[in-house]
Amino acid sequence: MNLVEQEHDAKKDHINEIVLSEDVQRAIEQVLQSSDPLDQPDFNPTDYINQLFPNEQSLSNIDEVIAKMECDISLIDDNIRSVVRGQVNTGENGRVALKEAQQSLTQLFSLITDIKSRAEKTEDAVKEITRDIKQLDSAKNNLTYAITTLNHLHMLVGGVENLKRLSERRQYGEVLNPLQAIIEVNQHFQQYSEIAQIQTLSAQVQQIQSELATQITDDFKNFFSPTSHSNANRMTLTQLKDACQVASVLDKPVKKNILKWFINLQLQEYVQLFHENQDIAWLDKIDKRYAWVKRHLLDFEEKYGTVFPADWEVSERITVQFCTITREELAKIVARRRTEIDVKLLLFAIQKTANFEQLLDKRFNGTTLVEATSEEVRPERGSFSSLIGSCFKPYLDIYMDSIDRELTALIEQFAQANQQMMVPKEINPGILPNCADLFVFYKKCMVQCMQLSNEKPMYDLVLLFKKYLREYAAKVLEARIPKPQPPNTTTSSISSSMSLLTKDFQNLSTAAGQVIHNFLKEGETPRFSSEDMRKICYILATAEYCLETVQQLEDKLKEKIDKQYVAKVDLSDEKDVYHRIISNCIQLLVHDLDAACEQSLLLMTKIAWHSISNVGDQSGFVNQIITNLKQTVPVIRDNLANSRKYYTQFCHKFVNSFIPKYINTLYRLRPTSSGSSSASGTAALVASASSSSLSEGGASSGAASGGNILGCEQLLLDTHSLKTVLMDLPSIGSQVQRKPPASYTKVVVKGMAKAEMIIKVVMQPVHPASLYIEQYLKLMPESSVVEFHKILEMKNVRKIEQQQLVEAYKRACPQLQQQPPTTSTTAGSQAVGAESGNTTQQSNEPPTSGGNSTQSQQIAAAAAAISGAGSSIMALGDSLMDKGRIKKIENLIKNRLPN
């Protein structure tokens, strides 16, 4: 029974529920905007009550809420009541309004019907009134047309007789106007051609035109024929001028035939004089052809310039026909005598022809070229360009072969002169002069080729340009890039220094210092002289000029060459060659400066940092680095004054190379020790010189918390000094101080900040381990397990403690175990694993002949010698049994180290 009641209640609620569509709901929300929860479509009474009474204490104001609800309900009831009452009379008002609208429509329809009937009556009245007027207009038009036709007929009948009489008398001046009128009238009567009389008259007009055409043609031939001078019937110039006007009125073939005959007559002498069998017809006398036509045109215009109408363009037609005949004759001659053509003769003929064509373009407007030539011969309508010169295009390979030979000789000349290349003494030498000479020759060839053709020959020239741009880069620029010269030292200098050490124990400090100094010299990487560095900058500036000029050359070639070859013009490979030369020069300069600093970094590893007793000024290796920078960087900056972006690139690459090496050198140092270290200062120096780390006993004693950290403080001071110097590197040694680029400053700050953080981490005590790892992660958040292990080595932590600390570090940073080591970390591990005597070289360093193997052997010998010297010093120290004396010897050796 309860289930039945629940189902009945559910149906009842469903019946009472009002469901509105989404469109209706949106319309209600737009009209009745309300923030009251009761007005929301998804209103939930339970949630609303829980919101009003979230807890039992809120039930205290239930009466107020109920009173407010009752007030809202009564207000809504009043609104509903007023709306319902307002809708009572709505239906009645609507019916009244509809009835009134229907009545208005009925009245409007009756008015429209009345207006339509009145309009039809008015139209009938107007037609009745204008009926007679239309008849009169039609009669008038017919009468006018009949009168005009009769007049035309009268003109045609009378004009035919008159034309016959005038044509027989050769009175062409009087024939012109009647002839034009009769031709027009005859065209008018073509619609009446079925009438016999009209047919007769039209046939007479056609006969008169035919007779006039034949008569005028004969008169022209009689006038210009060489045998007609004694003929009494020969026309005068005035009659000839009038005859030309009459020929213009006649059919087009009449004028065309007259011009064809006349032009052939004018060029008859030229064809005979310059026949292919004549000596004057060869290319070396081609200018005589053009001189002949110039004289002939001047003579023609002086005699008959006023006879022919201006629109006949007789001079231009003679010239066009001359060009056509000349092109055909030259093509035959050149094909028959190809073996006799050399490049000078070909260029002479092409140049004379091009000059003549340019003269024709200035003299004539080219209106007759459209009907006289074809598109294959003429590249552009209205232009005489290549009208004759097109016959030389099949033989331009002779010109290209000549250009190829000239460029080959030019590059060889540059290469030979480049062997004695001397850099100008001024600070900013500019570029190689032969570079400008090459591009001047390129420009000359391009202009010359444009006069010949901008199609296939121009593309062949592009291929030649590409070839010799690469040749110039290889034979002139790359071939003269200096190579570093190895120092003239041998292992014999080490042996002599060892003899000094073992021979004279009284001057032990001097001998030991000399041994170490010779060892450092033996490990030097080949360096460039100041002149070599200027030469590299000289070549770099030249390559930069070539790079910019090649881009301009490519743009100009694309502008000048024919459209079908534009996409094929691509000098990107050649630009890459000069990019590579620039990059190689910058890398050589970076490597040279890097090699200078490597000796200072090697000296840095020879200092007993763990035994430093006080922190003073910056160390000697820092002074050496600064000295090398001041000696090298200003030379490069002054010689790259016009290539500022590449100088900035040099600075970028140097700091990107030097800072990781400096950090790797830091990892090889042992700057901390405990107070109870058993190793003396002399033994520590010997151990570092032989590229071995401190003994296990020394490491364990230095692992204690505390110990001597003055070495770290000195390193921190030196690192800060280096950072300051590197920040000012672009302007070092310059009177004008410029602010370095932001990108460069960012690299220096980031790299040297890491070096400072490494030293600060080394200064921290390792106990307690959790605190040390916490400090480590704060100072070096981007570190790795490998770097953490290196820092523990720097602190001389025992192996067992290292394992424990590494495990604790891995637990603190579990994500590091899944990440591969970074590039800098990998490079650092490689540097730590290498022997201390070996100097790292950049990956793109140019190989030197036998440098690597010989240098490695020299370094190994030097290390063995130093190790032996250290053993001697230790034995001597034990025999003296005087700690003060040993300390004094140690200080003497330190003072003898090269600064």
Which tens digits make up the pLDDT trace of 325-344?
888 888 888 888 888 888 88
pLDDT above 50: residue 364 = yes
SS3 content of the chain, % helix, strand, coil (to 5): 75, 0, 25
Q: Spell out the SS3 assignment of 778-840.
A: HHCCCCCHHHHHHHHHHCCCCHHHHHHHHHHHHHHCHHHHHCCCCHHHHHHHHHHHCCCCCCC
Phi, psi dihedral angles at 844 (to 5 degrees)? -105, 25
Element (H, E) at 623: helix 620-639
- The helix/strand/coil state of 845 is coil
Angle at 254 between CA 253 and CA 260, to 5 degrees: 80
Contact of 352 with 388, CB cutoff 8 Å: no
Residue whose C-alpha is closest to residue 481's, from 585, 615, 377, 380 = 585
Mean pLDDT for the stretch of residues 360-385: 64
Mean pLDDT for the stretch of residues 824-843: 36
pLDDT above 90: residue 467 = yes
pLDDT above 50: residue 536 = yes
Q: Residues in the chain, how many?
A: 899
Mean pLDDT for the stretch of residues 143-160: 66
Tell me the percentage of the chain whose pLDDT exceeds 90. 12
What pLDDT does 843 receive? 34
Tell me the percentage of the chain whose pLDDT exceeds 70. 68
Beta carbons within 10 angstroms of residue 237's beta carbon: 12
Tell me: cis bond preceding 768? Omega within 30 of 0 counts: yes
What is d(CA 431, CA 452) in angstroms, rounded to the nearest whole number?
33
What pLDDT does 198 receive? 66
Residue whose C-alpha is closest to residue 541's, from 647, 413, 635, 426 = 647
Cα Rg for the chain, rounded, in angstroms? 54
Label residue 731 exposed, middle or buried (CB < 10 Å: 0-12, 13-18, 19+): middle
What pLDDT does 196 receive? 65
Q: Which two tokens stand for residue 599?
A: 């000796």
What is d(CA 547, CA 83) in angstroms, rounded to the nearest whole number?
88
pLDDT band at 572 (very low <50, low <70, confident <90, very high): very high
Report the interhelical angle of 286-304 vs 343-363 (nearest 10°): 20
What pLDDT does 538 receive? 86
What is d(CA 842, CA 656) in angstroms, rounded to the nearest whole number?
11
pLDDT above 80: residue 316 = yes
What pLDDT does 443 receive? 92
What pLDDT does 5 receive? 54
What is d(CA 343, CA 399) in angstroms, rounded to the nearest whole number?
6
What pLDDT does 160 receive? 66
pLDDT above 50: residue 644 = yes
Q: Bridge partners of 485? A: 527
What pLDDT does 863 receive? 40
pLDDT above 90: residue 579 = yes
DSSP assigned state of 289: H
pLDDT band at 6 (very low <50, low <70, confident <90, very high): low
Domains and CATH numbers, the chain: 190-225+235-394 (no CATH), 398-485+525-584 (1.10.357), 588-672+707-812 (1.10.357)
The string of DSSP codes covering 321-372 is HHHHHHHHHHHHHHHHTGGG--HHHHHHHHHHHHHHHHHHHHH---TTHHHH
Report for 20-34, 466-480, 820-834: range of highest mean pLDDT: 466-480
- The helix/strand/coil state of 381 is coil
What pLDDT does 892 receive? 44
Own/partner long-range contacts of 742-745 (Cβ < 8 Å, ≥24 apart): 743/652, 744/648, 744/651, 744/652, 744/655
What pLDDT does 371 receive? 62
Mean pLDDT for the stretch of residues 101-118: 91
pLDDT band at 687 (very low <50, low <70, confident <90, very high): very low
What pLDDT does 359 receive? 87
pLDDT band at 868 (very low <50, low <70, confident <90, very high): very low
Contact of 414 with 472, CB cutoff 8 Å: yes
More reliable by pLDDT, 752 or 227: 752
Report for 311-320, 419-428, 815-824: range of highest mean pLDDT: 311-320
Torsion from C-alpha of 299, 305, 306, 312, nearest 10 degrees: 160
Of 15-19, 404-408, 596-600, 636-640, the poorest mean pLDDT is in: 15-19
Q: Which two tokens stand for residue 146?
A: 């009949």
What is d(CA 727, CA 744) in angstroms, rounded to the nearest whole number?
8
pLDDT above 60: residue 531 = yes
End-to-end Cα distance, the chain: 110
What pLDDT does 575 receive? 92
What is d(CA 570, CA 445) in angstroms, rounded to the nearest whole number?
18
More reliable by pLDDT, 152 or 438: 438
Q: From residue 245, give the alpha-carbon distance in Å to each of 178, 307, 747.
A: 13, 10, 89
With tokens 């600075």, the residue in question is: 651
Report for 36-45, 141-150, 600-609: range of highest mean pLDDT: 600-609
**Average pLDDT over the chain, rounded to whole?**
74
Mean pLDDT for the stretch of residues 351-380: 70
Q: Which two tokens stand for residue 37?
A: 């929860």
Please, how many CA atoms are within 13 Å of residue 548, restricted to the half-sphere of its CB? 9
Write out pLDDT tens, residues 775-826: 888 888 888 888 888 888 888 888 888 888 888 888 887 665 444 444 443 3
Write out pLDDT tens, residues 548-569: 999 999 999 999 898 899 999 9
- The helix/strand/coil state of 262 is helix
Tell me: cis bond preceding 457? Omega within 30 of 0 counts: no
What pLDDT does 874 receive? 37
pLDDT band at 355 (very low <50, low <70, confident <90, very high): confident
Contact of 635 with 530, CB cutoff 8 Å: yes
What is d(CA 611, CA 608) in angstroms, rounded to the nearest whole number?
6
Contact of 241 with 307, CB cutoff 8 Å: yes
What is d(CA 488, CA 829) in angstroms, rounded to the nearest whole number?
33
pLDDT above 60: residue 250 = yes
Of 364-373, 399-408, 864-873, the poorest mean pLDDT is in: 864-873
Work out whether the CA dihedral 862, 655, 847, 419 comes out positive or negative.
Answer: negative
Mean pLDDT for the stretch of residues 363-382: 59
What is d(CA 281, CA 278) in angstroms, rounded to the nearest whole number?
5
What pLDDT does 653 receive? 92
With tokens 């921290």, the residue in question is: 764
Q: From residue 170, give the alpha-carbon distance in Å to each of 76, 156, 720.
A: 118, 20, 114
- The helix/strand/coil state of 429 is coil
What pLDDT does 466 receive? 92
Q: Which two tokens stand for residue 527?
A: 């360096």
What is d(CA 899, CA 592) in angstroms, rounded to the nearest whole number?
19
